[in-house]
Amino acid sequence: MTSLPVIAVTVGDPSGIGPEIAANASADRRVKAVCRPVLYGPTTVEELAAYPVGVVNADAGQRAYDEVVRAVADCRAGRVDAVATAPINKAAFAAAGLPWRGHTDLLAHLCGVGDAVMMFWSDTLRVVLATVHIPLAEVPRALTSDRMQRTIGVTAASLPKFGITNPRIAVAGLNPHAGEDGLLGREELEQIGPAIQAARATGIDVAGPFPADTIFVRASRGEFDAVIACYHDQGLIPVKLLAFGTAVNVTLGLPIIRTSVDHGTAFDIARQGKADEGSMVEAILLAARLATPTPTSLEGAFQPHGVR
């Protein structure tokens, strides 16, 4: 028998719900049937007593960081097969003096890559973010043609690992009505459109830019396999509306497999037994499937529009 993949499960910020959902998800029978989860970070009452509950804390931010570093090192060394992360807190990272705003840029740094991309995976809708944790006012300047073309390229190269052999990618416009031919903004004409054309010239099946108020509906109905959104909330609002609690955050472009939950640290319900581990379960299950990419393990895993 082939041994089950080993999945590092980091517990995230110990002042939030991460330790609870990581421990509960790791004990879930569906998880234990397909992998061997290994917890990274404090989970017992005694261990968690060192961290305040439900508040931003520098020590908690540092511990969350340390466990991610340890898990990534083990994954790169082959001691574990993938990493599934519970949520960290950006303010706690900042309080600890850490420069990273989230897992994605930290993981890119730890793995020495410049093109890490955030994708949210659900059965109904897959969304990739061209920009992530930056102020909305900075998005137009950050959304260069080069950034968009690299995002399209990483997305097209990564989706076959999920069983999507010939991915159909759509790109959302930044402005209302995708700029209306320059009347409502020129980013579509000057940055986004040229990036799409350059990607198409390399053989990638990508189209757009499309108005953001309709493209997610079209993709959710099966017309496209993934949508590239221009900024954080543009992409996450439709995903969370359709699949909150079951969507999985996946980092594309890394030399390791990394998945995560679709929510934050939820300080307001930490250590009250109220947290739902559903998204953490889905994150570990997806990590396990990606770590065992055989026809049997992938069959039926990525539906309804993933496999064609």
pLDDT in tens, 236-276: 999 999 988 788 999 999 999 999 998 999 999 999 999 99
CB 15 within 8 A of CB 270: yes
Per-domain boundaries in the chain: 1-113+254-308, 114-246
Which range among 2-6, 149-153, 291-295 shows the weakest confidence by mean pLDDT?
Answer: 291-295
Predicted TM-score (pTM) of the model is: 0.86
Residues paired with residue 38 on neighbouring β-strands, in sequence order = 8
214 membership: H or E segment, kind and range: helix 212-220
CATH class of 114-246: alpha beta
Strand 6-10 relative to strand 82-85: parallel, antiparallel, unpaired? Answer: parallel
pLDDT band at 2 (very low <50, low <70, confident <90, very high): low
Average pLDDT of the residues of the chain:
92
With CA atoms as reference, report the closest residue to 266 among 8, 9, 21.
21
Q: Spell 59-85 as b/e; 16+ CB within 10 A means b.
A: ebbbbbbebbeebbebbbeeebbbbbb
Q: Give all strands (DSSP E) within 144-284, no chain letters.
A: 169-172, 206-210, 226-229, 248-252, 258-260
The answer on pLDDT for 308 being more than 50 is no
**110/254 Cα distance (integer angstroms):** 10
The yes-or-no answer to whether 1-113+254-308 and 114-246 have a common fold is yes
pLDDT in tens, 150-192: 999 999 999 998 889 999 999 999 999 999 999 999 999 999 9
- As assigned by CATH, the class of the 1-113+254-308 domain is alpha beta
Q: Is the pLDDT of residue 295 over 70?
A: no
pLDDT computed for residue 297 by the predictor: 39
* pLDDT band for position 1 (cuts 50, 70, 90): very low
Q: Which residues contact 32 (CB under 8 A, 6 or more apart)?
A: 26
Tens digits of residue pLDDT in 49-82: 999 999 999 999 999 999 999 999 999 999 999 9
Here the tokens at position 73 are: 């090192």
Question: pLDDT tier at 293 (50, 70, 90 boundaries)?
Answer: low
Distance CA 213, CA 193 (A): 18
